[in-house]
Amino acid sequence: MTSLPPDDVVESLRCFPWLPMLIVKWALLDRMVFADVGAPMTKERLAALIDELWNFEGDLLKQKLGGTAHPLIRPRVFVQVLFQRKATRAFVRIPALLSRLPADHGLRKLFHAQWQLTPEQFVDLAIVIYSARFGENKPGFNRSFFKPLEKEYGTVAIDRMLGMFSRDLQGLREELLGAEDMGLGKGLAHRRRSELFEFPFFKRFPLYRHSPDVYFVWHPTVLSRALEDAVHLRLSDAGKEYSEPFSKVFEKYVVELARDAHQYLYTEADIKNSRGSQSSSVEAVIPFDQCNVLIEAKMGLYPDEVITATMPEIVRHKLRDLCKAVVQGAKVAEMLDSGDLIFDQVAQTQTNYLLVVTSRDLFVGRGEVLDAICSAGAIAYPTDVAKTLLPLTHVFFVSIDGFEQIIAAVRAGEANLPELLAHAVELNAVPGGAGYWLEGHMSAEARAVKDRGSLIDVAWEASHARLALALADV
């Protein structure tokens, strides 16, 4: 696992890399397993165990799917897609948003309490960790790799960063047992079926600390996903102390991005000023000549169980915010159509689309999928008229990564938002043409656009400038 090159996606997937890490997890959870006792695990025996897990047919495959395969597809696609996706710069986003806040803001204090770093230090050192593993494509790196940065960043900050991402085997066992004690597991005799499809627990600790000076990476992709999710995972430990204030930050950022889609945009404040503070609303209404595009933002803790759950009642509970977003959008569409909500630039059209931008990819994609994986009645349209004005085929769930990509393409003139939405509706109606990702319906040229000048790009360039300055005298 540690020796795979980062771009060898095919070979990686052939090994089902999440499954050997699951075996390691179970071994560490078993207090009767000792790393230094017994015969070494052979490659042949490991391969046989992986095959058994992959071919395992249990209750999940025997469940009645209610006429749709999505409850079965989502969890299996989830982990495979995460191992196929290339590394991104997404780990810069949350620190960059936090950097905009006043130094005494609660989220800044919470971040410092968790990491003992500034957001800028986190970004810089995350880039260095990535470079340490991938620069020479070795399975690990030495602590001495960071020596040239000690003058600028200090040994305390560097060791703190490495300490947050690494554990030795005993430390990893303690972390796993602690998670079990908090109710995340039910002991070795009663494992969750979803563990077969979850992204490895190692995402919290992607570095194996072999010695104080030697670190190995469990898997290249696990490191990439770990860097992207690290800040969110750690801050999620604080629950509502993190999610409630950051939801407001996230909503403002989504509206900020949406402003680049069109010269006119009406916000939630505009809707409430017109209809009253108790009115249903969305984050933004973008009025195009041929349609109205409604934007709603949903930030949540969203652990992997939101995706790996298969029972409709559980899925419905975990995705209730998405169901509410559809109802919110339908009510706004009805108000626009009836004249109860009037804005100067809103077109007299009955064509509406809703983009629900989520803080992580929930592998839902579109309204019909949400309706299929939730139990009956989960999406409670207020009226038949509202359902006509905003049908499920016109509802899309887009991750913040996908939304940034779409807006970058629109800003560069490589994509037109109304045309993209209409095209996606057409393709989704064709057997075999549907997908979970709206951005996937863009042209190759649009998907390849570099998002110059964006929040992430500016923070990325600033980080590299700081690192270059720190290394200038080395």
pLDDT above 90: percentage of residues in the chain: 67
Res. 6 pLDDT band, cuts 50 70 90: very low
Q: Distance between CA 454 and CA 257 in Å, rounded?
A: 9
Tell me which of 54-63, 213-222, 329-338 is least confident: 54-63
pLDDT tens digit string along 110-124?
999 999 999 999 999
On whether the CB atoms of residues 133 and 223 are closer than 8 A, the answer is yes
On whether the CB atoms of residues 92 and 463 are closer than 8 A, the answer is yes
Q: Per-residue pLDDT for 344 more than 90?
A: no
Q: Distance between CA 93 and CA 96 in Å, rounded?
A: 5
On whether the CB atoms of residues 226 and 204 are closer than 8 A, the answer is yes
Residue of higher predicted confidence among 63 and 231: 231
Q: Distance between CA 193 and CA 160 in Å, rounded?
A: 35
pLDDT tens digit string along 313-339?
888 999 999 999 999 999 999 999 988
**Considering the entire predicted model, what is its pTM?**
0.92
CATH architecture of 246-442: 3-Layer(aba) Sandwich (3.40)
Q: At 23, is the secondary structure helix, strand, or coil?
A: helix
Res. 10 pLDDT band, cuts 50 70 90: low
| Residue 195: Cβ within 10 Å count | 18
Residue of higher predicted confidence among 136 and 63: 136
**pLDDT score for 180:** 79
Tell me which of 177-186, 262-271, 425-434 is least confident: 177-186
Nearest C-alpha neighbor of 217 from the set 176, 170, 174, 165: 165
Residue 391 vs residues 285, 320, 358, 379: alpha-carbon distances, Å: 17, 18, 20, 11
Sequence spans of domains, the chain: 9-56+87-236, 246-442
Q: Distance between CA 458 and CA 177 in Å, rounded?
A: 40
**pLDDT score for 52:** 85
**pLDDT score for 53:** 85
